[in-house]
Amino acid sequence: MAETVETQTRAPEPKRFHTVVSDLAALRKAAQARRYGNGVFPPELPSRAVIAKLLIDLAAILYPRHFGPPEEQLQAPDQHLARQLDRVFLTLREQVRRELKLFSSDMTDEAVALRATEIAEDFVHGLPKVRALLDTDVTAAYLGDPAAKSIDEVIFCYPGVVALIRHRLAHRLYRLGAPMSARIIAEIAHSETGIDIHPGATIDEGFFIDHGTGVVIGETTIIGKGVRLYQAVTLGAKRFNVEENGGLEKGKPRHPIIEDDVVIYAGATVLGRITIGRGSSIGGNVWLTHSVPPGSNITQAKAHVEFFDHGAGI
């Protein structure tokens, strides 16, 4: 009887799918050869799971009352924070080392390790500045939404704040020279909130994304102080320039510049390297591909209805 049960529960023989295994292995090896060269063992990659856990730790460091374990904070908050920072540094250094090794084939292992250490140290030292910026975002959300009952509610519940916590961290990594790790953070935020902010986007203080679902902010976007966006706003590129070899140009300025105190309402699409002047208001569902001066009020054309009686107008 025992033998029968064992036979019934035993996993299928591996050879059942041997053709699938061999086909996938061949495709994998071919892809690796194209990316890394023949005979080169595939390098280690940054881990999305590790970076996701790192984000949880970073949120607890920035806002311990909201995201940290309260029982540990009450015992020795400074000592607990010191341990957290050390753990974040070590984890981030390893992820950055993997990224640098992947994209810096001309660097020695020692040089890669040294640069990863420098990036991780600079990142940790910059966390107070990140917290100070985020405080202006939280305040803007609280003051800008009549439904907000408290600062705590804003930090706990607002997807725009969640997205900005991730973006402020990702943007710093991007600027320090770890764009892939930064992009992983951005995509985690995208999946969590529905808000897609490229880590290269430059966003000044007091930024508020209300509701937020469907917001897209491109890589070279520049956003000034006190800007507010509503759901489904796109700050995108109008066109992509092509290089002589047929590939798309990378990293060229192609997204909007949004000056201070601009409000962009739900569903608006702003495309290209244009400037939205200070204090402007862009109405819902507007499609905008040209610059507008400060203080502009851009809305959709109003519907115009004509009635034709007895064949008039035909």
Residue 114 has pLDDT above 80, yes or no: yes
Q: By the 8 A CB rule, do 118 and 65 touch?
A: no
Average pLDDT of the chain, as a whole number? 89
**Residue 108 vs residue 14, higher pLDDT:** 108
| Residue 234: predicted pLDDT | 98
Q: By the 8 A CB rule, do 230 and 210 touch?
A: yes
Q: How confident is the model at residue 306 (pLDDT cuts 50, 70, 90)?
A: low
Question: Closest Cα partner for 65 from 121, 8, 131?
Answer: 131
Q: How many helices (H) and strands (E) does the chain have?
A: 11, 14
CB atoms within 10 A of CB 104: 13
C-alpha span between 153 and 132 (Å, rounded)? 18
| Residue 15: predicted pLDDT | 76
Q: How confident is the model at residue 9 (pLDDT cuts 50, 70, 90)?
A: low
Q: How confident is the model at residue 249 (pLDDT cuts 50, 70, 90)?
A: confident
C-alpha span between 52 and 192 (Å, rounded)? 11
3 state DSSP class of 296: coil
Query: What residue type is assigned to position 162 of the chain?
Result: V
**Residue 40 vs residue 141, higher pLDDT:** 141
3 state DSSP class of 264: strand
Q: Which residues, in sequence order, are CB contacts of 140 under 8 Å at separation 6+?
A: 206, 207, 208, 226, 228
Give the up-direction half-sphere exposure of residue 197: CA atoms within 13 A in the CB hemisphere.
32
Q: What angle do CA 284, 285, 287 make, to 5 degrees?
A: 120
For the chain, what percent of residues have pLDDT higher than 70?
87
Q: By the 8 A CB rule, do 212 and 195 touch?
A: yes
| Residue 39: predicted pLDDT | 61
Q: How confident is the model at residue 313 (pLDDT cuts 50, 70, 90)?
A: very low
C-alpha span between 33 and 37 (Å, rounded)? 4
**Residue 15 vs residue 195, higher pLDDT:** 195
3-state DSSP of 223-251 = ECCCCEECCCCEEECCCCCECCCCCECCC
Strand extents, DSSP E, the chain: 196-197, 202-203, 208-209, 216-217, 222-223, 228-229, 234-236, 257-258, 263-264, 269-271, 275-276, 281-282, 287-288, 297-298
